[in-house]
Chains A and B, each alone.
Chain A
Amino acid sequence: MGNNFLRLLSGLWVTVRISLISIAFSLVLGTLLGAVMTSRNRVVKVLCRVYLEIVRIMPQLVWLFIVFFGVTRLTGANFGGETSAVIVFTIWGAAEMGDLVRGTFEAIPRHQFESSLSLGLTKPQMYISIIFPQALRNLLPNVINLATRMIKTTALVSIIGVTEVLKVGKQIIDANRFEFPNAAIWVYAAIFFMYFLICFPLSMISRAIVKKQQRSEGE
């Protein structure tokens, strides 16, 4: 059927590209934000909280409209569709990531900090050898979960003119709607399989890392 399979793959590449770049930015910015969020300062805490709540409550579709159309309307700056998508998913990912990092650190029992220090470890030693490994293990499944959510949410970007895998699928279904009215189920099955192919390895990786950590701790 023409180039349809290649077109689906190139659509998938757009999906993966937007997700990966956004996830990378979110990891960096989210970790920093998470560190800031553990601050005891009330003003900082409230500001972080407001940011997080705004991002969580507004649907990503609205964010896409705001960044792609709203920013142009207000400032004249003209972002491309993909750039807008990366900005939106980074704003969202950083907020969620920050909250995950904050929660993970706060969940580490206080005695872990206190006993490390009383054993004579310096603060950097304490973080590198005691706190981070525990935090990472608790954080990882949540981060993978966030990443797969982000990958699936990229399906919204067709509203701002970015043709990702789901949109390519709709185009294929529509182009053949007179000759093959039942093409939809096959195209959607193929897309389902593609999403699975990206998301499943992610869960496998996280499981492998967790297992490896558990083993090394058991030694």
Chain B
Amino acid sequence: MKLLKRISAVFAAAAMALALAGCNNGGSSAPESGNASGGTFRTVDQIKESGEIKIGVFSDKNPFGYVDNEGNYKGYDVYFAERIAKDLGVKLNLMPVEAASRVEFLETAKVDIILANFTVTPERAEKVDFAPAYMKVALGVVSPDSAMIKSVDELKGKTLIVVKGTTAETYFTENVPDVKLQKYDEYNEAYSALQDGRGDAFSTDNTEVLAWAKSNPGFTVGIDSLGSTDAIAPAVTKGNETLLKWLTDEITTLGEEQFFHKNYDETLAAVYGDDETYKENLVVEGGKMD
């Protein structure tokens, strides 16, 4: 029995590692090759021949990828996915994915493209190939109208609410030492703290605070773009050069017709408003980040 227990322990450890890897956005336990060793990716010609493209999107991240009350996929990512299918001349097959399994879906070629609010990071770029950006995200700071904070200087000596483990926490810890951070585990706790006046302002991704301020009168996003700007881009299976090239060309072409501005108006304006500066803070045309 003792031996059995030991064997079990080994399996348990392996299982834990795997589970963690899964939660870690695809994880580090993937084979070194990085290529889709099992299911192989499909080239542009193969996709056209099959008459269908499989694109992985979020199904519960309003307003980027979600399912509306009629059961139809909607959102900024979905709007782009529909255009991709149209320009390829194929039927669109949207697959719901979770943040934790996005990389796996590409590595096993279960989808051709991931369009799920996928932030470009060096770790992910080792496992998948990113096309040029179609959106960007930075930090935002929301505060009450009565004591609105419009610049980082105004934050000095004040109490700033952040959520643990977010880029906001890292950014303010490293770059703004004279602000007092008040840390919470969850978003709704942080928002309650802000509403109760336990802190002077709250900072996290600008997309998040902009949407929240819109539905909470009395609060405004005083700083809407702060810190390093992260790119949100479509991703394909590592090594799928034809599809990557097609997507790169597509994004360049779409930039000429200001496609993503139109996408913003159709899908994001209802949440973020028509304000031009907000729009320019989120939308990327032709893959050009600045």
Which A positions have Cβ atoms within 8 angstroms of B? 1-4, 7, 49-50, 53-54, 57-59, 61-62, 65-66, 69, 71-78, 158-161, 163, 167, 170-178, 181
Would you mind naming 15 contact pairs between A and B with Cβ atoms under 8 Å apart? Answer: A2-B70, A58-B11, A58-B12, A58-B15, A59-B15, A62-B15, A62-B22, A72-B110, A76-B39, A158-B96, A159-B22, A161-B101, A167-B59, A175-B66, A178-B271
List B residues 77-91 near A (Cβ within 8 Å): none
List B residues 9-40 near A (Cβ within 8 Å): 11-12, 15, 18-19, 22, 31, 37-40
Would you give the shortest CB distance from A167 to chain B, in whole angstroms?
7
Indicate whether A4 sits within 8 Å of B8 (C-beta atoms), given known contacts A59-B19, A69-B108, A161-B96: no
User: Which 6 pairs of residues, A with B, have the shortest CB-CB distance?
Assistant: A2-B69, A73-B38, A174-B60, A72-B108, A72-B38, A58-B15
Query: Could you tell me if A163 and B96 are in contact, using CB atoms closer than 8 angstroms?
Result: yes
Of the candidates A7, A77, A160, A170, the one having the most CB atoms from chain B within 10 angstroms of its own CB is: A160
Indicate whether A62 sits within 8 Å of B96 (C-beta atoms), given known contacts A2-B71, A75-B38, A174-B61: no
Residues on B with beta carbons closer than 8 Å to the beta carbon of A177? 62
Of the candidates B37, B60, B271, the one whose C-beta lies within 8 Å of that of A170 is: B60
Residues on A with beta carbons closer than 8 Å to the beta carbon of B96? 158, 161, 163, 167
Of the candidates B59, B70, B97, B211, the one having the most CB atoms from chain A within 10 angstroms of its own CB is: B59
- State in angstroms the CA–CA spacing of A82 and B4 once bound together: 33
Query: Could you tell me if A69 and B107 are in contact, using CB atoms closer than 8 angstroms?
Result: yes
Query: Could you tell me if A1 and B69 are in contact, using CB atoms closer than 8 angstroms?
Result: yes
Q: Does B269 contact A (CB under 8 A)?
A: no
Of the candidates B8, B19, B59, B61, the one whose C-beta lies within 8 Å of that of A61 is: B19
Query: Could you tell me if A159 and B70 are in contact, using CB atoms closer than 8 angstroms?
Result: no
Of the candidates B15, B31, B56, B98, the one whose C-beta lies within 8 Å of that of A73 is: B31
Q: Does B215 contact A (CB under 8 A)?
A: yes
- State in angstroms the CA–CA spacing of A192 and B68 once bound together: 22
Residues on B with beta carbons closer than 8 Å to the beta carbon of A77? 38
Q: Does B285 contact A (CB under 8 A)?
A: no
Q: Does B100 contact A (CB under 8 A)?
A: yes
Q: How large is the interface on B (under 10, 10 to 19, 20 to 34, 35 or more residues)?
A: 35 or more
Would you give the shortest CB distance from A99 to chain B, in whole angstroms?
14
- State in angstroms the CA–CA spacing of A92 and B248 once bound together: 45
Query: Could you tell me if B38 and A158 are in contact, using CB atoms closer than 8 angstroms?
Result: no
Query: Could you tell me if B69 and A3 are in contact, using CB atoms closer than 8 angstroms?
Result: yes
Of the candidates A50, A59, A158, the one whose C-beta lies within 8 Å of that of B4 is: A50
Query: Could you tell me if A76 and B38 are in contact, using CB atoms closer than 8 angstroms?
Result: yes
- State in angstroms the CA–CA spacing of A174 and B109 once bound together: 28
Classify the secondary structure of A's interface with B: helix
Residues on B with beta carbons closer than 8 Å to the beta carbon of A172? 69
Least CB separation from B21: chain A residue: A65
- State in angstroms the CA–CA spacing of A50 and B271 once bound together: 54
Residues on B with beta carbons closer than 8 Å to the beta carbon of A74? 37-38
Q: Does B214 contact A (CB under 8 A)?
A: yes
Query: Could you tell me if B11 and A174 are in contact, using CB atoms closer than 8 angstroms?
Result: no
Residues on B with beta carbons closer than 8 Å to the beta carbon of A167? 59-60, 96
- State in angstroms the CA–CA spacing of A77 and B39 once bound together: 7
Of the candidates B39, B66, B71, the one whose C-beta lies within 8 Å of that of A174 is: B66
Of the candidates B40, B66, B100, the one whose C-beta lies within 8 Å of that of A159 is: B100
Residues on A with beta carbons closer than 8 Å to the beta carbon of B59? 163, 167, 171
Q: Does B200 contact A (CB under 8 A)?
A: no
Of the candidates B19, B37, B69, B101, the one whose C-beta lies within 8 Å of that of A4 is: B69
- State in angstroms the CA–CA spacing of A174 and B73 once bound together: 12
Query: Could you tell me if A178 and B69 are in contact, using CB atoms closer than 8 angstroms?
Result: no
Would you give the shortest CB distance from B182 to chain A, in whole angstroms?
23
Of the candidates B61, B108, B271, the one having the most CB atoms from chain A within 10 angstroms of its own CB is: B108
Query: Could you tell me if B211 and A178 are in contact, using CB atoms closer than 8 angstroms?
Result: yes
Residues on A with beta carbons closer than 8 Å to the beta carbon of B181? none
Residues on B with beta carbons closer than 8 Å to the beta carbon of A59? 15, 19
Would you give the shortest CB distance from B130 to chain A, in whole angstroms?
20
- State in angstroms the CA–CA spacing of A59 and B67 once bound together: 29
- State in angstroms the CA–CA spacing of A94 and B7 once bound together: 21
Would you give the shortest CB distance from B267 to chain A, in whole angstroms?
13
Q: Does B112 contact A (CB under 8 A)?
A: no
Would you give the shortest CB distance from B96 to chain A, in whole angstroms?
6
Q: Does B95 contact A (CB under 8 A)?
A: yes
Least CB separation from B31: chain A residue: A73
Q: Does B104 contact A (CB under 8 A)?
A: yes
